[in-house]
Amino acid sequence: MPPVRKPLPVDHSILNEMLAIRLQQLEIENGGMEAFLPKTGLARGTYYTVLRGIGNPTLKTMERIASSLNMTVFELLGFEVSDAKRALKKSGVDYDELASAIAKKNRADRTLARQTRSKKLPG
């Protein structure tokens, strides 16, 4: 009989725990899990995994959650935007210019995607 493979321990990280704690706080502030879950834009199973701090959400997933809740990823994690501005300033980057450039790029990407989809549709 082959040896039984033992499950690997779950890797926890500070970031995963911060996100889990923050989601729990937001859940309480928004009337409980049933009221809050649809606002996150996540599937129930994904939400539970992230909420337990054992998920490994991508940055894109965190951005989607934050966007669904009308906040930044920084706010989602419990930081103030001023914290991000201060950190970027230390590196010589202007937060507002960066945010504007990203928004412009995202709009251009969405426009291009729409144009590409419309060309593929049978006419």
pLDDT at 9: 56
- Inform me whether the pLDDT recorded for 54 exceeds 90: no
CB atoms within 10 A of CB 23: 22
At 71 the three-state DSSP class reads: coil
Give the pLDDT band (50/70/90) at residue 106: confident
Cβ contacts of 20 within 8 Å, gap of 6 or more: 50, 51, 52, 53
Lowest mean pLDDT segment, chosen from 45-49, 70-74, 89-93, 116-120: 116-120
pLDDT at 21: 92
